[in-house]
Structure 1
Amino acid sequence: MSSGIEFVKDGHIARVTLNNPKALNAISPAMDDALAAAWIEIDDDPDIWVAVLSATPGKAFCSGADVSGGTDRDGRMALGGGLTGVGGPQYHLRTPLIAAVHGYVIGGGFELAMCADMIVAADDAQFFIPEVKAGIIGEAGILHRAVRRLPHHIAMGMILTGDRLPAAKAEQFGLVNEVVAPDDLAAAAERWAGKVIACAPRAVQAAKHATLTGLGMRLEDALTTRYEPIEAYAGTKDQQEGLAAFAEKRKPVWTGH
C-alpha cells in the first residue's frame, strides 16, 4: 500500500506504518485514504488477530493532520483513516490495535495513539497538545480524549499550557502500557501482539466490543446489556477448544472459528 503508508500482513499480525518522515509523519488526505483501506481490510480478514500501528524512525511518530494545503478536509473520513472521529465519520476497529510510538506524538498524532487499545512507547516519546501555544483551536477531539485517558489536572495542564508529557510520566499516569529504549520498540510491540494472539481471537474481539460499548453507559446498564459478539461466540469451536484445553491442562490451539 502506497501513499505514505506501509501495510504488511505477517501471520496473524497486521503491521501498519506511517511513512512520511519528512513531514513528521503528518497524515495527508492520501494517507487517510490508505489508513481507512487498511482498517477495513484488517477487520475483514479473519486471519488477522491484532494490528500494530507504528511509524518509520525519525523525530516523530505523528504530528497530526497535514494542513500544508489548508485545514478544510472537504468532508473526508475522520483523521487516522476514521479512527479518531475528528473531521468525519468515525470507524470503530473491531480488531485489537497496538500503537508503538516514538519521538514527538503531537496533536492529532497523540489522538490517533489514544485510539489504540494499548500503547508501547520509546523512552524518547513526548506527548503534547500544542494548539494553544500556536494560537490554534479547532476540532476538540483530542481534548476530550486526553481528559478521559489522563488524571484531570495532568490533562488540563497539557491542554491549557501546551506542556509536554514525557514517556516515563505517561507510563506513571497509565497512558502507556510500557516504555522501552527506542531500539527495543519494535520488539516490545511484537511481544504485546504475541500476548494478544495467544488468546482466542473472537473472544478478544467480543471483549473489546463489550468493554468499549459499555464504557459510555452507567455501570448498571453496562452490566445488564447483552452484547451480540459475546453471544455469537457461545458454542464456537474456539470456545469448545478453550474448555477442552483447560480440562486437559494444555495450551489451547485457536483457529478463529
Structure 2
Amino acid sequence: MSAEPEVLVDRHDRVLVVTVNRPTQKNAMTLTAARLIAEAVDRLDGSPELSVAVLTGAGGTFCAGMDLKRFALGERPALPGRGFAGLVEAPPKKPIIAAVEGWALGGGCELALACDMVVASHSARFGLPEVKRGLVARGGGMIRLPQRLPRSIAMELLLTGDPIEAGRAERLGLVNRVVDDGQALKAALRLASRIAENAPLAVQCAKAVASAAPGWPQDEVWSRQAPLSDAVFASQDAQEGARAFVERREPVWSGS
C-alpha cells in the first residue's frame, strides 16, 4: 500500500485543483478515491473563498476508468446519490474544468463529460470501451455523450468502444482547447482563473440555468429562469459591478 493519498487537493487562489493520484495504475478509480473526490466537491461548493475547480490526473494520464481488479473483487467506485467517482451524478454547483493528459477511458471519459469544460493535451484520448468488456457506460457516457456530440458520432464511440483523439474531439466541440503535452493543467488553471475573476453568484447562476434549461418544458423556460436570474440582479455584487464599471476600476465581489 502506498502512503500517498489517492487524491490530492490543492488550492490556487480561488481555484481548487483535484488530482487523482494513482499514476502507476493509470489513475484507475477506487472507492477511496471516489470518497475523496466527493469531499473535494463539498469543499468547493461550501467555501465562499473558492470559485471553480480543476480535475486532473497524476503521471500523464487523466483516468483509465474504474479499477477492474478491484471490480472483480466486488468493489464499486461509486457513492449513493453521487455515482462513479463521487461526481458523475452530482457535479458541483460551481464550475469544474477537466485537464486531460493521456487517456480518459471509460469512467475517466465520463468524469470529463461531467465537467463543464475540457482542456486536453495533443496526446489525450477519450473513449468508452465498456462494450468491449461486456459492460455499458452507465456513469453518464450514454446520457451525456449524445448531448455533447452529434448523435452519429456519439453512437460510433458508444457502440464500437473505439477512442477519439483530442484534435478531433476539439473540432466536434467535446474539448474547449488542445495544448501541448504536459500543459493541460496550466492551461486549465488559466481558464479557471478567468472564471474566478467574475461575480460568484452570476457564475453559479449561469451554470445552473445552462445545465437545467435543456430539460425544462419550452413553455416554462422563462418562468423557471426568472427566480434564479432575479436573485443575481438583486444582489450586492450586481450593484458593485455597475459601480466598478462607472468608476473604471476592478470590482470587489462579496458573493452576496
Task: Please give the TM-score of this superposition, normalised by the length of structure 1.
Answer: 0.90
1:210 aligns with 2:212: no
The percent identity for this pair of structures is 37
Answer with 148-157 or 243-252: which moved more.
243-252
8 A contact 2:202–2:232 mirrored in 1 = yes
1:65 aligns with 2:66: yes
Q: Which residue of 2 aligns with 1:88?
A: none
1:245 Cα offset (Å): 1.8
1:217 Cα offset (Å): 1.4
- Matched positions, count: 250
8 A contact 1:119–1:178 mirrored in 2 = yes
Q: 24, 27, 46: which one pairs with 2:26?
A: 24
1:40 aligns with 2:31: no
Q: CA RMSD in A?
A: 2.1
1:142 aligns with 2:149: no
Answer with 113-122 or 126-135: which moved more.
126-135
Q: Which residue of 2 aligns with 1:6?
A: 8
SS class of match (1:136):
coil
SS class of match (1:240):
helix
Q: 79, 83, 86: which one pairs with 1:76?
A: 79
More helix by share: 2
SS class of match (1:62):
coil
1:61 Cα offset (Å): 0.7
8 A contact 1:122–1:185 mirrored in 2 = yes
8 A contact 1:95–1:205 mirrored in 2 = yes
Task: Please give the TM-score of this superposition, normalised by the length of structure 2.
Answer: 0.90
Structure 2: segments with no counterpart, 5+ residues = none
SS class of match (2:48):
coil
Q: Which residue of 1 aligns with 2:167?
A: 168
Structure 1: segments with no counterpart, 5+ residues = 86-90
SS class of match (1:69):
helix
Q: Which residue of 2 aligns with 1:200?
A: 199
